[in-house]
A and B are shown apart, each in its own frame.
Chain A
């Protein structure tokens, strides 16, 4: 087994097994992953040093990470495309709490709040709640009037919105989420206009005189030439 395979094993082994969160979210495995291919993204030496500093810190406790894992899974339950675990949403939240420190207080306070709420309503900690109890709490805080200012809403509603935002962005910027969304770019190709069926759907067409100004893609590899006619 090569090193990359062993990392995959750690990640997959942790799915569905709350006790293995250290393996999934712990500092050491994140550092290993970073040192492999995961986070090679064209950094300068200063940027690498900054990332390393963040990776060496741990913000959430393992209990908090388990709570987040449960919350994010209910916000976005797994489907045939993937799960928040495939998308490493909780790892992203841990990282962003260090990268954007102003997230730290609200995120932590919200986790405290949901445990207090679980206790007062059901005499259990949040992690012990069954699905129906979780939904009861989420239904209290999960919705808002989009015409309102978020900052005017109760803190638990704001907190839930923050966690929902991070869950959504974490999932839909992941490999599985981007596939589910249907984004098809970021790869070499040739743009030759809006597909005809899409133009038809919106009752649009390209003007002939505009198209005359556009590249005939069958000539794109031909070296450009101009005549010397004055163009102005």
Chain B
């Protein structure tokens, strides 16, 4: 492999262009610093008609949108998925960890659910509350000003609810609930489950003159061509490029290691240009890793040197440890009242308009952490799979005959269209040192870079929580006059608990703390061991909360980037 060196020394090299990398790019370039963004995937702009999938119809795909090439369907905007050719990962004994990677500018922000929740005050102090895991070295008050700025910069709809651990922010007004969401609201309230407008980073109102306003096509997973939803490219990187001229993008460039000098300080990165299959080096005064929790851990562990024999920033031996994902549980139900419903354009935004935050006190339960409930259903766009087993719901009317042929299939299709609802619990797991990723000593990817091996087991804490989810779903579905479509999962299947990694909220691999023996980065996400290397993805999370990580990734990345700007001013790099 040929190695080329570029002469320019950047102020900052940012590895990865998702939520954390995008935010760091914006803050640092606007402060006048030269920035190199190194992204493992291709360039991507949601507005580019050649890659755009938004507003495509099922029939425009030869497989009608089926998920055979992209896991979430042809039109999902994530390049990569659970498996990437030539870039494997391996599993330790009895582990079945799922790792979703999206290799493109903007990373997973192009397809994510846009659920934009702040962590609450309790979420930073879980050990003080239940004795498990650890407290963060920072509190809600430390991060609140950054959540505020992220809200105003990116835009998020929601509502003021005055709930202590679900802090309000600067919201755009919410969209009105859909029909199945009204059914959910009424049914959840009967069980004293709190329901409120969801909080999604979708512009229901104009935020500025650079971005459009949501036109309700339900296509957020396809990434919005008028930039009415948040993606790192459209909202952070492109504006930074335009306003500063300080950003150089290196795409199809996979970072192998952080390079260091005799003193052990970082000097830049080495990366593989995937188009040319050549290795290059980039020089930078500061290196910011934002490649995703597991990819950043992999880069650190692969960056071994005389000064850092255990991998960069790994004197604590904690890089890769405390890996944790959200828990997940799901149930789908049929609402007989909704048969033969009138159809109208019910698309709305690309996600739920209502949800339930965690509403109970864990002190009164047999598991330590909470979950929120997401709601889905309605008159969705047909795609591959629509019409399968078209009249199997006949059984709910005591008709023990299904299938058939002829015009009855057309009427059955219309009869049952839009009559289902889905509930998904997404909860907090307890971070465990015994759940981790490490370098597999026996395997390299097609570029010769050692790959990750995962070790992950759920504990009773998560399994009991999953059982509680299913009990709650059962009750709400009953209240709705609906019928569950899947058998209630029992003990043998961990009560339907998803595999670790499957919720795609993996965090914790470079956790934050004040004690260098007990953590990898400090409160500004700087490696304890190396003064010019930062990690601004979800690696620094001490605990996950029952909330989606993106808003917290960005608030922390903004806080850390402002810290870096100050350090530059003090000439500390």
* In the complex, per-residue mask of A29-69: 1 if CB is within 8 Å of any chain B CB, else 0: 00000100011111010010011001100000000000000
A68 to chain B, nearest CB (A): 14
B10 to chain A, nearest CB (A): 29
In residues 6-27 of chain A, which contact B (Cβ within 8 Å)?
none
Q: Is the CB of A191 within 8 A of B216?
A: yes
Cα A112 to Cα B390 with chains together (Å): 25
In residues 170-222 of chain A, which contact B (Cβ within 8 Å)?
170-175, 177-178, 180-195, 197-199, 201-202, 204, 206, 210-211, 213-216, 219-222
Cα A230 to Cα B346 with chains together (Å): 35
Interface magnitude class on chain A: 35 or more
Cα A181 to Cα B405 with chains together (Å): 17
Interface magnitude class on chain B: 35 or more
Instruction: Write out the residue numbers on chain B whose beta carbons fall within 8 Å of the beta carbon of A206.
Output: 176-177, 182
Q: A221 contacts which of B74, B206, B391, B403 (Cβ < 8 Å)?
A: B206
Q: Does any Cβ of B come within 8 Å of A92's Cβ?
A: yes
Q: Is the CB of A146 within 8 A of B182?
A: no
B198 to chain A, nearest CB (A): 11
Cα A126 to Cα B50 with chains together (Å): 45
Instruction: Write out the residue numbers on chain B whose beta carbons fall within 8 Å of the beta carbon of A168.
Output: 386-388, 390, 409, 413
Q: Does any Cβ of A come within 8 Å of B448's Cβ?
A: no
Cα A173 to Cα B341 with chains together (Å): 19
A49 to chain B, nearest CB (A): 11
Q: Does any Cβ of B come within 8 Å of A147's Cβ?
A: yes
Q: A74 contacts which of B207, B403, B406 (Cβ < 8 Å)?
A: B406
Inter-chain residue pair count (beta carbon < 8 A): 265
Q: Is the CB of A185 within 8 A of B64?
A: no
CB nearest to A211 among chain B residues = B176
* In the complex, per-residue mask of B338-379: 1 if CB is within 8 Å of any chain A CB, else 0: 000111111111000000000000000000000000000001
Instruction: Write out the residue numbers on chain A whose beta carbons fall within 8 Å of the beta carbon of B169.
Output: 231-232
Q: Is the CB of A173 within 8 A of B62?
A: no
CB nearest to B49 among chain A residues = A42
CB nearest to A138 among chain B residues = B405
Q: Is the CB of A202 within 8 A of B197?
A: no
Q: Is the CB of A146 within 8 A of B400?
A: yes
Q: Is the CB of A146 within 8 A of B395?
A: yes
Q: B384 contacts which of A76, A169, A190, A202 (Cβ < 8 Å)?
A: A169
In residues 139-169 of chain B, which contact A (Cβ within 8 Å)?
144, 152, 155, 157, 159-160, 167-169
A81 to chain B, nearest CB (A): 9
Cα A145 to Cα B403 with chains together (Å): 9
Q: Does any Cβ of B come within 8 Å of A1's Cβ?
A: no
CB nearest to A71 among chain B residues = B405
Given A44-B79, A76-B409, verify A142-B176 contact (CB < 8 Å). Answer: no
Instruction: Write out the residue numbers on chain B whose beta carbons fall within 8 Å of the beta carbon of A185.
Output: 217-218, 345-347, 379, 381
Not counting A50-B69, A51-B62, A173-B387, a sample of 13 additional A-B residue pairs whose C-beta atoms are within 8 angstroms of each other reads A44-B51, A96-B66, A142-B405, A146-B393, A146-B401, A147-B400, A184-B379, A186-B55, A186-B217, A189-B216, A190-B215, A215-B175, A223-B207
Query: What are 17 A-B pairs with beta-carbon distances under 8 A?
Result: A39-B61, A44-B51, A51-B62, A77-B406, A91-B62, A100-B68, A143-B401, A164-B390, A164-B405, A172-B386, A178-B381, A184-B343, A184-B379, A185-B218, A185-B347, A215-B205, A226-B152
Residues on A facing B (Cβ under 8 Å): 34, 38-42, 44, 47, 50-51, 54-55, 74-77, 79, 87-88, 91-92, 95-96, 99-100, 138, 142-147, 157, 160-161, 164-165, 168-175, 177-178, 180-195, 197-199, 201-202, 204, 206, 210-211, 213-216, 219-224, 226, 231-232
Residues on B facing A (Cβ under 8 Å): 42, 50-53, 55-66, 68-69, 74-75, 79, 144, 152, 155, 157, 159-160, 167-170, 172-179, 182, 185-186, 197, 204-209, 213, 215-219, 337, 341-349, 379-395, 399-407, 409-410, 413-414, 417
